[in-house]
Chain A
């Protein structure tokens, strides 16, 4: 009994660690909380999270007025995203239709997040992909990261219309730590 319990505990710890490691977007709850969707700005909330993650201040400050431009609030379509990206000097890939799946996989595989259509007329942030699970942060509940199977993720993405936005910027490095190697 004890042996099986300890095995289960170890399995849980290993799975949790593996999941945490494989997330491309490594923002803490406190930072994610800044991107809660109060007024239907889900696209900018999702893109803003990616902006912080990839150190693109013009994208991370989309929701607020800043030196990069005015606050961009409310709903968006691909053309509006393209317009404000151009005005603020943000490099993006604005993808619609069936290529979105390949692009989302590319983004998280290479350490980038993606602002994706997820849910009925809604946008969320794709945080990572591990094994056969997808991790998505909903800007209506930023305190948690939701986990989806490939089928569940596909259904979630299709329900919003196939659209995703990926920042054309380098991914963030792992948080640096001093380790003696010399």
Chain B
């Protein structure tokens, strides 16, 4: 009985650890005897003094040095050049196959590398950050952005404020699987943004808004990260299905048609040519206008683009035969009038 209870208690303590999370033992790191002494202090001031003026660059390659000593030491004479002027490219993925494909393509595709080089940040034209939508530690960054598909590419101006507010979303789009198409779209969007920026009144005197502060009451650090860390591999349940890759910001219709007022239709309506197709055309234009504004303001849309386009198509096809019939009637009328006239004679 005693032996059984002892075994049970041992099993229970191994399964259910009642200690606070931060006091639970963690996996043993590879600590050298010298490091063990350092761990007792907070900072190894002695070593700092011994090293003197030294700049060491760890290049992030996974490798073990013999006896825990640093074998890759580089004395660097100066700090790196400023990169305040660089644009920002953020790739927000979900760990799915499309996200991984884009990440891999960004390492090799020359069109994408020309925009941003993840391996060579110093020589890269823009800063590039790969975010995982499942990473709880980064979700606060994208609170104001809506995602429809992953991966989504977001482009923002540099921190230097040379090109306006750095928080402005200059370009946002899901990835279609074509790197050349993506890089062309990004370049066009930046070009379009810069061309519009010069026209905006007082953009030179731009000042950023104050970030919101949050109230916190208590604190706790656990043995596990306090947010969801994305797993190494995707669950593999998703199948590869790239969306169309058309940019959300700036909208295509925004550039090309939305703000073109349909003067032709308006003049036709005012000069007595009001008909169902004319009003339908005006209605469609108005709906598109409102929709573009809602999209720009980041508001939720009632219908998705595909459904709306289908509705418009149906409306157009419904109105089309009526136009033909009216035209046929108009064509027939003069003949009938002529006939009537001949009868009078």
Residues of A with Cβ closer than 8 Å to B?
A: 16-17, 20-21, 26, 28-31, 33-36, 38-40, 42-43, 52, 55, 57, 60-61, 63-67, 69-80, 82-99, 102-103, 106, 109-111, 117, 121-123, 142-143, 160-163, 168-182
Contact = CB atoms under 8 A, between A and B. Distances in A.
A84 B29 contact: yes
Interface string B218-242: 0101111111011110000000000
Interface in B178-203: 192-193, 196-197, 200
B316 interface: no
Interface of B: 22, 26-30, 32, 34-35, 38-49, 51-65, 68-70, 72, 76, 78-80, 82-84, 88, 90, 121, 127-131, 135, 137-138, 140-145, 154, 156, 159, 164-170, 192-193, 196-197, 200, 207-208, 210-216, 219, 221-227, 229-232, 249-251, 254-255, 293, 296-298
Given A65-B27, A91-B58, A161-B49, A79 B129 contact: no
Given A67-B231, A92-B57, 15 more contacts: A31-B140, A34-B227, A57-B135, A66-B225, A74-B39, A97-B53, A142-B219, A161-B43, A163-B48, A170-B127, A171-B127, A174-B156, A177-B168, A180-B293, A182-B196
Contacts of A34: 219, 221, 226-227
B144 A178 contact: yes
Contacts of B55: 93-95, 99, 103
Given A64-B224, A94-B55, A182-B255, A172 B129 contact: yes
Contact of A176 (B27, B69, B169): B169
B196 A117 contact: no
Contacts of B78: 102
22 contacts: A17-B207, A21-B208, A28-B214, A39-B22, A76-B39, A76-B43, A77-B44, A77-B47, A78-B54, A83-B65, A86-B64, A89-B61, A91-B57, A96-B53, A99-B53, A110-B83, A121-B42, A174-B159, A175-B141, A177-B144, A177-B169, A181-B193
